[in-house]
Amino acid sequence: MIEKADQIFILLSHWLVSFLPAWLQAAAMVLLGVVAIVVTFPALFAVTVLLERKGLGRMQNRYGPNRVGPYGIFQPIADGIKSLTKEDIVPRSADAVVHFMAPVFLVVVVFMGYAVLPMGRNMTLVNMDAGLLFFFAIGASSELSVFMAGWSSRNKYSLLGAMRAVAQMISYEVPLLMSSLAVVMITGSLSPNKIVDAQNQYTYGLPHWYIFTPWGFAGFLLFAVAATAETNRSPFDLPEGESELVAGYFTEYSGFKFALFFLGEYVGMMGISGLGTTLFLGGYSAPFSWLQWVPSWCWFFGKVMLSMCVFIWVRGTLPRLRQDQLMNFAWKFVLPLTLLNLMVAALWRFMGEGWLRWVVCSAILLLAYTVMGRVGMRREHFGPRSYRYAE
Amino acid sequence: MSLVFYVIAGLSVAGALAAVLLKNTVHCALALTVAFAGLALLFLELDAQFAGFAQILIYIGAVAILVVFAILLTRGSETPKDTVYSRHWIVGLVTAAGIFAVLGWAVLHSTVALPRETTKPEVTVMDIGNALMGRYVLPLEIVALLLTAALIGAVIVAMHDKEGAQ
């Protein structure tokens, strides 16, 4: 029974495919997997948007959407219908082909990343030897669609937003890759499945997740920072800073194309949350060995939704950074720490079992964090801020 | 030579031709990206996963972005009114044809020099890593040194401007 609940989607797809002739079955299995991904994540997107609007409302002492359905739970459906029926405006001077291609390209690329994520036991669409590399390669090409959107709109705000977004994504892609590399070094594989398998073991009922090691904890924090910046989320949402740039690179998009950008952003966030879950939070494995009867896919989706809640929480809490702060933070703080974390992961690997490696690795990381933070802050000269025109 | 190969090859060649023939420089850069993607797909069709993904990561994720950045930061993306073809196009044509001939000759002869494999080799990422860290560690380090030198050079070029302004 437990086994069946765990493998329910696999069994279901096998059962559905068994109605087809034998030569079609392999292709139909792949198609079913793709359809499942393309249906599930937009549905989760709708839930997340509602959660975000309600949650942000709570944090800012207001109600949030409460008109459509009980407690406003049908708001995403109303939004979807609205964006489908709205007029699609293309600026006269815009580059029509590129303007059309940009949102389509973004959504396609963002969904492709899910192909390699293990969403449950035996629930990886394509089990690739170099799956992690695939995810990063696909993620890197989403920058191009941001540029296409900003450039083709022929609007200075769009172009500035796109330039900011691309500069930011390039800068934070380096720490994102570097922090994941520590996991690859320890596991010795680029395959997401093997990374999850390595963490899916228990000692005294506690899991071997990488976040519960010094280098893994530091790596996870650095990964989370880089992932937030990579998805252009607050506090790194300068590319769409509405007080400066209207809406950034998708200023000139309306109707369903705008909805596609919105979808792309959230589905990308979920994808990178899924990757973080796979790398550091044990993927589909249970947090305690006595909870292993819960189907594995529940854990994966639970962890992803939990990360989304953290994203929303961070958005409601932190103010937006300035452009120079953003760049300094990436290159002078996050990147050196990720490089150090790589060394610490290597040290962890070669120090062997025992409590000594816990002490040494934690001490190195804590020391580096404190010293770099102090040194970086000393140069900043914080003090009372004077406003020349706003008094 | 399957149908997939012809589709991918057509895509790459069309992208490359568009990159040369289109008038708007940003369009050229985007067309070049299509050619890069075609090459990556060719690698993947040959079961060279690592090379294919590295091609996407580096050429589409980094090189194409740098190209469009360079275009936007230097000249603007306005389409020139008169012809975009250089007056020395014949020299360029001869050079390109010469390079193509040399590369083609080298590729065609390499099949004779190398042993002919009858079975498909199973190359994992781990094998590539071992080769890079073992047999090919010296070339790798030389490339790394070259890239570092280029990086420092770029920083120095950028710094020089700032000192002049002060």
To the nearest whole Å, the CA of B89 is away from the closest chain A CA by 29
**Which one of B47, B56, B122 would you mutate to disrupt binding with A, by most A Cβ within 10 Å of its Cβ?**
B56
Q: Do A151 and B72 count as a contact with CB atoms less than 8 A apart?
A: yes
**What DSSP letter does each residue of chain B carry, written as one string?**
--HHHHHHHHHHHHHHHHHHH-SSHHHHHHHHHHHHHHHHHHHHHTT-HHHHHHHIIIIIIIIHHHHHHHHHHHT-SPPPSS--S-TTHHHHHHHHHHHHHHHHHHHHHHHHHSPPP-SPP---HHHHHHHHHTTTHHHHHHHHHHHHHHHHHHHHHHHHHHHHH-
Task: Report yes or no on B96 lying in a domain.
Answer: no
Averaged pLDDT for residues B113-135:
77
Is B53 a domain residue?
A: yes
Q: Is A130 on the interface with B (CB under 8 A)?
A: yes
Give the C-alpha separation, A235 to A317, whole Å: 9
pLDDT for A174 beyond 80: yes
Q: Does one domain contain both B136 and B62?
A: no
Enumerate the residues of chain B whose CB falls inside 8 A of the CB of residue A129.
49, 124-125
A151 interaction partners in chain B (CB closer than 8 Å): 26, 68, 72, 77
Query: Any chain A CB within 8 A of the CB of B7?
Result: no
Residue B84 has pLDDT above 50, yes or no: yes
Grade residue B144 by pLDDT with cuts at 50, 70 and 90. very high
User: Are B73 and B131 in the same domain?
Assistant: no
Phi-psi region of B150 (alpha: psi -120 to 50; beta: other; left: phi over 0): alpha
Report the range out of A149-158, A204-213, A222-231 with the highest average pLDDT: A222-231
Predicted ipTM?
Answer: 0.78
**pLDDT top residue among A67 and B14:** B14
B132 in a structural domain: yes
Query: Residue A128 is nearest to which of B26, B49, B57, comparing CB atoms?
Result: B49
- Give yes or no: residues B68 and B125 share one domain: no
Residues B73 and B22 in one domain: yes
| Residues A163/B70, Cβ–Cβ less than 8 Å | no
DSSP assignment string, B55-66: HIIIIIIIIHHH
Choose the final residue of a domain: B18, B52, B79: B79
In a domain, B91, yes or no: no
The pLDDT of residue B165: 47
Rounded percentage of chain B residues whose pLDDT exceeds 90:
19
> Which residue has better confidence, A317 or A292?
A317
Instruction: Confirm or reject contact between A108 and chain B (CB < 8 A).
Output: no
Q: Where does the pLDDT of residue A383 fall: very low under 50, low under 70, confident under 90, or very high at 90 and above?
A: low
Query: What average pLDDT score do residues A244-264 get?
Result: 82
| C-beta atoms of B65 and A128 within 8 A | no
Percentage, residues of chain A above pLDDT 90: 6
Q: Is A32 exposed, middle or buried (0-12, 13-18, 19+ CB in 10 A)?
A: middle
Residues of A in contact with B56 (CB under 8 A): 137-138, 140-141
pLDDT at res. B145: 94
pLDDT at B57 over 80: yes
- Supply the pLDDT for residue A382: 60
Which among B15, B47, B79 is the end of a domain? B79
Question: How much is the pLDDT for B161?
Answer: 56
The average pLDDT across A69-74 equals 83
What CATH code is carried by the domain that includes residue B39? Answer: 1.20.120.1200
Q: How many CB atoms within 10 Å of residue A31?
A: 13
Q: Is B113 within a domain?
A: no
Contacts of A144 in chain B (CB under 8 A): 30, 33, 60-61, 64-65, 68
B74 and B131 share one domain: no
Classify residue A299 as exposed, middle or buried by CB count within 10 Å of its CB (0-12, 13-18, 19+).
buried
Q: What local confidence, expressed as pLDDT, does residue A390 receive?
A: 44
CA distances from A40 to A4, A7, A123, A260 (A): 20, 17, 14, 16
CB A319 within 8 A of CB A280: no
Average pLDDT of chain A, as a whole number: 84
How far apart (Å, rounded) are the C-alpha atoms in residues B61 and B54?
10
CA distance A209 to chain B (A): 23
Both B14 and B66 in one domain: the answer is: yes
What is the number of domains present in chain B? 2
pLDDT at B75 over 80: no
Question: Do B66 and B134 fall into the same domain?
Answer: no
Integer angstrom CA distances of residue A77 from A66, A72, A338: 13, 10, 42
B166 pLDDT more than 50: no
B6, B68: one domain: yes
- Boundary (domain end) residue, out of B45, B79, B113: B79
- B128 and B64 share one domain: no
* Chain-chain contact of B125 with A190 (C-beta, under 8 angstroms): yes
**pLDDT single digits (tens) B16-28:** 888 888 877 888 8
Q: Do B64 and A166 touch (CB under 8 A)?
A: no
Question: Per the domain annotation, does B34 fall within a domain?
Answer: yes
C-alpha A149/C-alpha A167 separation (Å) is 15
What pLDDT score was predicted for residue A194? 87
**pLDDT value at residue A234:** 78
A87/chain B closest Cα distance in angstroms: 27
- The verdict on B69 and B131 lying in the same domain is no
* CA dist., res. B125 & res. B7, Å (int): 27
Q: Which domain holds residue B3?
A: 1-79
- Asked if residue B154 is part of any domain, the answer here is yes
Does any domain span residue B44? yes
What is the rounded distance in angstroms from the CA atom of residue A40 to the CA atom of residue A216? 30
Scan residues 116-155 of B and list those with Cβ closer than 8 Å to A. Answer: 124-126
